[in-house]
RNA sequence: GGGAGUGUAGCGAAGUCUGGCUAAACGCGACGGACUGUAACUCCGUUCCUUCGGGUUCGUAGGUUCGAAUCCUACCGCUCCCA
């Protein structure tokens, strides 16, 4: 055993007194980032509607991208020529790439699954393309992401026990192949993905198998695909304790505020989800007082801010004003979200202006990033249960028929 | 003045020849909803009134018929062409 740190490693800072929630940091070749964290999703090398400048301004740390989609277009070789994905998309912080495992699920009508790998009929021009654990590693090595995900199969939650067992075991074998195929363990960290749907024995077999491989981090997959929140918590209850405490733990595809808290309480450090940007593009804002469907006519004359409780964060607060003029943008405390009214955003959506989708996307991401900042503070103060109670109350989860994001 | 065409639900537009299966296609707009490791500015509802039994509609007024948006008569409006 050497003391040499892997490319990606977890530093533990604090354990919340009442819940055991973790407060830590993840070290990567592109910087060190605070956990628990939420990672915006930029599938095709772009967080839809939000530029890298804005991402940084609103406090993004890691962002996600996708192996399958970048492989299909523009191609991993091309991105390697460009100097890697960071360079290509102009993002100097950490990137995590999903493997294409989710596309095995979401593009299930256009692919064939076998032990060797997955044959996709790609969604752009119909070409047959073969994705194996090894190919997924080659692509991600070319992309140069900080965290790479093993190729797995994201399984529908309500499949049969036998199907889930077979699939989980195959994903486990694929993890093994991925680790062997990994060409750059010194600069990129490979995470394994625990599968097994709602079955304790299968989750356990999956987790134990992956932990035995001593990967730098572990993800829990196959959740938030239609099962209830109660179900998800039940699975996390018996799955999280199986994962090592000195490695980052990533719950894939979760963004609902109550689920974020409940998962952090169960030991999760990292989250991602398309939810904030997807619903933003369709006109739904996430706010501290619940959802705001900005297209609803009741916002037509509403001149209040989008979210009165949202603060703004800027990593580069002072802009150089090349003209020497005073403007609101020179104020380091300037909060663009405070100055935008619901009426204005309603109008932008109504008029189908692209800016509406952009602002809403930034807003929702900022909302979640601030939510995680607040949660980190609550953990540091051993105050997470009170934070949870406040959220449940303020966001209206305690109301009858509550169903927020 | 002469000739041709046309009036359908918020708007556009089918249906009229060959009357019933038409409260009336379709599109837009409007109003709701869904969305959680992104084939997604997408998808799904509702959109004459209603106490859900029904009621009142297709420029207006009459007529024919068991039955009319559809056939007949008159009137009103609009568009285009020629003078």
A214 is known to lie in a ligand binding site: no
Q: What is the pLDDT of residue A312?
A: 65
Distance in Å, residue A94 CA to nucleotide B1 C1':
83
Q: What is the pLDDT of residue A329?
A: 59
A226 is known to lie in a ligand binding site: no
Distance in Å, residue A43 CA to nucleotide B38 C1':
6
Nucleotide nearest the Cα atom of A403 (by C1'): B34
Distance in Å, residue A32 CA to nucleotide B17 C1':
79
Reported confidence tier of residue A330, pLDDT bands at 50, 70, 90? low
Q: Mean of the pLDDT values across residues A269-286?
A: 96
Q: Is the pLDDT of residue A334 over 70?
A: no
Reported confidence tier of residue A397, pLDDT bands at 50, 70, 90? confident
Q: Is the pLDDT of residue A32 over 90?
A: yes
**Which bases on strand B have an atom closer than 7 Å to a protein beta carbon?**
30-43
Reported confidence tier of residue A126, pLDDT bands at 50, 70, 90? confident
From A84-88, A303-307, A346-350, A355-359, the region with the lowest mean pLDDT: A303-307
Q: Is the pLDDT of residue A339 over 80?
A: no
Count CA atoms within 13 Å of residue A300 on its CB side: 5
Task: Give, in order, the Cα–Cα distances in Å from A204 to each of A99, A151, A201, A239, A241.
Answer: 22, 19, 5, 7, 10
Nucleotide nearest the Cα atom of A271 (by C1'): B37
A65 is known to lie in a ligand binding site: no
Catalytic residue positions of A, numbered: 98, 272
Q: What is the pLDDT of residue A388?
A: 96
Q: What is the pLDDT of residue A404?
A: 64
As a whole number of angstroms, the distance between CA A253 and CA A102 comes to 10
Q: Is the pLDDT of residue A318 over 50?
A: no
Q: What is the pLDDT of residue A317?
A: 42
> What integer best gives the mean pLDDT of chain A?
91
A101 is known to lie in a ligand binding site: yes
From A223-227, A246-250, A289-293, A323-327, the region with the lowest mean pLDDT: A323-327
Q: What is the ipTM of this complex?
A: 0.89
Alpha-carbon dihedral sign for residues A176, A33, A89, A371: positive
Q: What angle do CA A139, A112, A217 make, to 5 degrees?
A: 45
Reported confidence tier of residue A390, pLDDT bands at 50, 70, 90? very high
Take residue A14 and report the two structure tokens written for it. 């604090």
Reported confidence tier of residue A154, pLDDT bands at 50, 70, 90? very high
Reported confidence tier of residue A3, pLDDT bands at 50, 70, 90? low
Distance in Å, residue A37 CA to nucleotide B37 C1':
15
| HEC letters along chain A | CCCCCCCCEEEEEEECCCCCCEEEEEEECCEEEEECEEECECCCCCECCECHHHHHHCCCCCEEEEHHHHHHCCCHHHHHHCCCHHHHHCCCCCEEEECCHHHHHHCHHHEEECCCCEEEECCCCCCEEEECHHHHHHHHHHHCCCEEECCCCCCCCCCCHHHHHHHHHHHHHHHHHHHHHCCCCCCCEEEEEECCCCCHHHHHHHHHHHHCCCCCEEEECCCCCCCCHHHHHHHHHHHHHHCCCCCCEEECCCCCHHHHHHHHHCCCCEEECCHHHHHHHCCEEEECCEEEECCCHHHCCCCCECCCCCCCCCCCCCCCCCCCCCCHHHCCCCCHHHHCEHHHHHHHHHCCCHHHHHHHHHHHHHHHHHHHHHHHHHHHCCCHHHHHHHHHHHCCCCCCCCCCC
Nucleotide nearest the Cα atom of A109 (by C1'): B39
A383 is known to lie in a ligand binding site: no
Distance in Å, residue A293 CA to nucleotide B54 C1':
37
Query: Cβ distance A239 to A194 under 8 Å?
Result: yes
Nucleotide nearest the Cα atom of A259 (by C1'): B36
Q: What is the pLDDT of residue A320?
A: 46
Query: Cβ distance A207 to A243 under 8 Å?
Result: yes
| A33-71 pLDDT per residue, tens | 999 999 999 999 999 999 999 999 899 999 999 999 999
């Amino acid at each position: 055993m050497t003391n040499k740190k892997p490319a990606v490693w977890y530093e533990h800072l604090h354990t919340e007194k009442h819940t055991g929630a973790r407060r830590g940091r993840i070290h990567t070749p592109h910087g060190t980032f605070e956990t628990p964290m939420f990672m915006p999703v930029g599938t095709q090398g772009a967080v839809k509607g939000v530029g890298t400048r804005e991402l940084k301004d609103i406090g993004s740390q890691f962002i996600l991208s996708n192996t399958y989609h970048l492989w299909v277009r523009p191609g991993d070789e091309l991105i390697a020529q460009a100097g890697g994905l960071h360079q290509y998309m102009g993002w100097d912080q950490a990137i995590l790439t999903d493997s294409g495992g989710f596309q095995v699920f979401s593009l299930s009508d256009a692919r064939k699954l076998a032990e060797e790998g997955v044959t996709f009929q790609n969604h752009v021009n119909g070409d047959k393309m073969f994705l194996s654990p090894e190919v997924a590693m080659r692509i991600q090595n070319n992309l140069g992401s900080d965290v790479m995900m093993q190729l797995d199969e994201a399984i529908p939650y309500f499949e049969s026990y036998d199907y889930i067992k077979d699939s989980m075991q195959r994903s486990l074998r694929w993890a093994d192949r991925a680790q062997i195929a990994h060409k750059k363990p010194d600069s990129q960290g490979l995470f394994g993905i625990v599968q097994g749907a709602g079955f304790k024995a299968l989750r356990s077999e999956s987790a134990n198998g992956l932990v035995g491989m001593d990967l730098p981090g572990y993800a829990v997959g196959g959740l938030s695909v239609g099962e209830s929140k109660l179900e998800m918590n039940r699975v996390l209850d018996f799955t999280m304790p199986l994962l090592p405490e000195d490695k980052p733990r990533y719950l894939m595809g979760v963004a609902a505020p109550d689920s974020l808290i409940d998962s952090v309480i169960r030991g999760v450090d990292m989250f991602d989800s398309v939810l904030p940007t997807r619903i933003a593009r369709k006109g739904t804002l996430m706010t501290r007082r619940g959802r705001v469907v900005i297209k609803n006519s009741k916002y037509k004359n509403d001149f209040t801010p989008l979210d009165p409780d949202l603060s703004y964060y800027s990593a580069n607060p002072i802009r150089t004003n090349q003209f020497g003029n005073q403007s609101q943008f020179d104020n380091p405390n300037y909060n663009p979200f405070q100055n935008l009214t619901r009426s204005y955003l309603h109008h932008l959506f109504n008029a189908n202006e692209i800016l509406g989708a952009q602002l809403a996307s930034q807003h929702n991401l900022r909302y979640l990033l601030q939510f995680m900042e607040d949660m980190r503070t609550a953990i540091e103060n051993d105050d997470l249960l009170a934070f949870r109670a406040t959220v449940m109350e303020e966001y209206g989860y305690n109301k009858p028929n509550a169903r927020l994001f």
